[in-house]
Amino acid sequence: MPRTKFATRLALAALSALILAGCSSEVADTHPEQPVTKRRDAFKAMLRSFEPMGTMLKDRRYDADAFAKLADEFGRLRDAPWSHFGADTNYPPTKAKPAVWEKPAEFDQRRQEFVAATDRLLAAAAARNEAEVRTTYAAAQDSCKACHRDFRK
């Protein structure tokens, strides 16, 4: 292919990529304290320990010590997002539904259910009991899904 055709195609590809990036970019969190960004980052940090536990169980590669280490990390992180759900934090780029602020007692109940479910998971992981770990992991995962169903877009 001649050099000019290649350069033209390369320029068109680069331009297309820039246009697509501009169309799909997320709204920036411009709030001075960035609570939406902080809570999103806190949830993502939790997932970095929670998901590998699930993969370990799904793939039937349970390693009690590795699981316990991930569970401990998850336990240290699980309380981080909740303080970032203040009254003035319902703005883009939030993925929280207005119900978080319209039904604060129900939202807090879901948070308490999550904490209780993860307490049971942490205890099972510490005991190195695979059967109990499987049950309590599923319950913790269910508590996440229930909250997402009611309070996340």
What are the pLDDT digits (tens) for 72-109?
999 999 999 999 999 999 999 999 999 999 999 999 99
Using a cut of 0.75, tell me whether the model's pTM lies above it. Answer: yes
Q: Is residue 111 part of a domain?
A: yes
Q: Look up residue 91 and give its amino acid.
A: Y
19, 63, 130 from 13: Cα distances, Å: 10, 46, 51
The closest of 97, 147, 96 to 117, measured between CA atoms, is: 147
DSSP, res 128: T
pLDDT digit string, tens, across residues 27-43: 898 888 999 999 999 99
Return d(Cα 52, Cα 69) in angstroms, integer.
11
Give the SS3 label for residue 152.
strand
First-to-last CA distance in the chain? 48
The closest of 39, 14, 42 to 29, measured between CA atoms, is: 39
5, 38, 55, 144, 150 from 78: Cα distances, Å: 54, 13, 19, 11, 19
Return d(Cα 68, Cα 144) in angstroms, integer.
20
Q: Is residue 22 part of a domain?
A: no
Quote the domain boundaries for residue 41.
Answer: 33-151
Q: Is residue 12 part of a domain?
A: no
pLDDT digit string, tens, across residues 3-36: 666 555 554 455 444 444 444 457 898 888 999 9
Q: Is residue 66 part of a domain?
A: yes
Q: How many domains does the chain have?
A: 1
Give the start-end residues of each E strand in 87-147.
Answer: none
DSSP, res 31: S
Q: Is residue 40 part of a domain?
A: yes
The CATH number of the domain holding residue 42 is 1.20.120.10
Tokens encoding 117: 């479910």
- Give the model's pLDDT for residue 31: 84
